[in-house]
Amino acid sequence: MQAWKARSEAFQNGQAHPPVDGLPLLPHSTGMNAEPRPLPDPFRTGLLTVGDGNEIYWEISGNPDGKPALYLHGGPGTGLRSGSYRRHFDPQRYCIIGIDQRGCGRSRPLAPDAPSELQRNTTQALIGDIEAVRAHLGVASWLVSGVSWGSTLALAYAQALPDRVSALVLVAVTTTSREEVDWITEGVGRLFPEAWQRFERESGRSPGERVVEAYARRLATGDLRDRLLASRAWNDWEATHISLDPGWEPASQPPDEDRAFAFATLVTHYWAHDGFLRDGQEILGRIAEIAHIPAVLIHGRRDFGGPAITPWTLHQHWPASRLIIVEGEGHGGPQCFAQMRLALDAFAQSR
């Protein structure tokens, strides 16, 4: 505990960390850039058929001869959107690969269009999709980065196929445990009792049913009107608890309903099933399988939806990891992403 605290304070004070697996991570090393870069356009895109009637959208930007790096978006269900994630990678050093996960973004079909097929949308299926894209592109191994849910998926992928992962850079770290899910869907309600009362009431849950289970049921089995009402109520709650983040501002326009519908359908599906990760404890229980993989875990101290205990606990069991707690920030704020860029630059310079 004291050793971790000293390392964290050293970083905040601009000092060097001890190297992890030979990787120096200095705040201002030569060739390292904390500023967002111009957004590179993809030079290749495609839809890969992966079975079960699914097609996975993928895109590549940056240097085709650079170090392969995979980005995993959050949600589940947010998709790559505008591709702003590409700004965190040095396009001269990285071959940057992004995918829209099964059921969202430009992958097909979208989850709300095929609710009866949700049983085929699991973490294990997503890992299979990632592997299919890797094999299709001829990548031997890659650095894997992920934000929020993307960090859970990155960890699960690394544990399933550690030889395919050279390093991990994770922001707003989650493991999608039941404890985490119940906190964000019920525990945070203690901070917003009025909003949570509406959220809970509109879930229509049965006695003994968790709030997230009720929303997952309605979004998967209700008629279209009821599913849309459930989606709006879910997204209203998301907007409420995220408002605790420092620097948060209300959206200037209503969210895209199709995108919000896909997000609500997928996030409730995964959260109601503990992320399909064995009671939500699988990642921590298997951390020894990736203990040798160098990783940087970046998290905001004021991430009220995902408390810092999750990355801190992972770090305690992960010798090759470095934990960076960003004071004064919430769920993936600008300084968290600045630290992400520094970490990615450091890995780009490593062997």
Q: Spell out a b/e string for 252-288, using b for 16 or more CB atoms within 10 Å of the CB, else e.
A: eeeeeeebbbbbbbbbbbbbbbbbbbeebebbbebbe
Regarding whether 112 and 24 lie in a shared domain, the answer is yes
Regarding whether 329 and 302 lie in a shared domain, the answer is yes
Regarding whether 15 and 137 lie in a shared domain, the answer is yes
Regarding whether 136 and 75 lie in a shared domain, the answer is yes
Q: Which residue has the tokens 């964000």?
A: 184
Regarding whether 12 and 143 lie in a shared domain, the answer is yes
Specify the pLDDT at position 8: 36
Specify the pLDDT at position 28: 43
303 is catalytic: yes
Range of the structural domain that residue 218 is part of: 179-276
Last residue of a domain, one of 244, 260, 276: 276
- Do 297 and 309 meet the contact criterion of CB atoms below 8 Å apart? no
Specify the pLDDT at position 116: 87
CA distance between the termini of the chain: 30
Regarding whether 86 and 234 lie in a shared domain, the answer is no
Regarding whether 195 and 88 lie in a shared domain, the answer is no
Catalytic residue among 8, 107, 145, 148: 148
Distance CA 326, CA 299 (A): 6
Last residue of a domain, one of 228, 250, 276: 276
Regarding whether 25 and 129 lie in a shared domain, the answer is yes
Regarding whether 65 and 213 lie in a shared domain, the answer is no
148 is catalytic: yes
Write down how long the chain is: 351
Regarding whether 86 and 47 lie in a shared domain, the answer is yes
pLDDT in tens, the chain (351 residues): 333 333 334 333 333 333 444 444 444 444 566 888 899 999 999 999 998 899 999 999 999 999 999 999 999 999 999 999 999 999 999 999 999 999 999 999 999 999 888 999 999 999 999 999 999 999 999 999 999 999 999 999 999 999 999 999 999 999 999 999 999 999 999 999 999 999 999 999 999 999 999 999 999 998 999 999 999 999 999 988 877 666 656 554 556 889 999 999 999 999 999 999 986 578 999 999 999 999 999 999 998 889 999 999 999 999 999 999 999 898 888 999 999 999 999 999 876
Catalytic residue among 303, 315, 321, 345: 303
Regarding whether 140 and 48 lie in a shared domain, the answer is yes
- Do 200 and 189 meet the contact criterion of CB atoms below 8 Å apart? yes
Q: What is the CATH number of the domain that holds 332?
A: 3.40.50.1820
279 is catalytic: no
Q: Spell out a b/e string for 77-108, using b for 16 or more CB atoms within 10 Å of the CB, else e.
A: bbbbeebebbbbbbbebbbbbbbbbbbbbbbb
Regarding whether 113 and 31 lie in a shared domain, the answer is yes
How many domains is the chain partitioned into structurally? 2
List Cβ neighbours of 249 (8 Å cut-off, separation of 6 or more).
none
Distance CA 25, CA 261 (A): 40
Last residue of a domain, one of 276, 301, 316: 276
Does the pTM surpass 0.85? The reply is yes
Report strand pairing: 142-147 vs 67-72: parallel
Specify the pLDDT at position 279: 64
